[in-house]
Amino acid sequence: MKSENYMELKFPSKSANEAFARAAVACFAAQLDPTLDELGDIKTAVSEAVTNCIVHAYPDELGEIVLKARILPDSVLDIVVKDRGRGIEDTEKARTPMFTTGGADRSGMGFTIMESFMTEFRLTSAPGKGTTVHMKRKIIRRGGKK
């Protein structure tokens, strides 16, 4: 699908970059004139995806995270967060609410939050090869804006 605009960022899996990623996507999404609630949902979903890369994909080393965003026709924000880390053996189990491999301080709600805050959600992963989270959010046009 042809995009109206796009961006791509690559950054190391450092905790400080989670805030950077969410801010970058929020700034990019602003061109669609989202409501504060829509923008909050998008930022939260991106935070969850990037945090998963930091905590689960590269638990003992720094790795690279790739964040892509596109504006698609009909005011759809398309976001991809990808790593080349450990990968997930059982993606269905990983998507189960409260399931985590990150220890007692992790809630296990990341994928559930991403899926509930976005219009579309897709997870692909292979052990030893990495994980890709693909999310879309339809932005409701307000006041007859085109």
Q: Which sequence positions are flagged as catalytic?
A: 48, 52, 106
pLDDT at 101: 58
pTM confidence score: 0.86
- Contact status, residue 114 vs residue 121, Cβ threshold 8 Å: yes
| Domains of the chain, start order | 5-138 (3.30.565.10)
The side-by-side arrangement of strands in the sheet containing 120-126 is 5-12, 64-72, 76-83, 130-138, 120-126
Residues 4, 73 contacting (CB under 8 angstroms): yes
What is the average pLDDT score of the chain?
88
Segment 29-50 mean pLDDT: 96
Residue 79 has which token pair?
């976001």
Q: Mean pLDDT, to the nearest integer, of 28-53?
A: 95
For 1-28, the pLDDT digits (tens) are 788 899 999 999 999 999 999 999 999 9
User: Do residues 81 and 124 lie in contact, with contact meaning Cβ atoms separated by under 8 Å?
Assistant: no
pLDDT attached to residue 141: 77
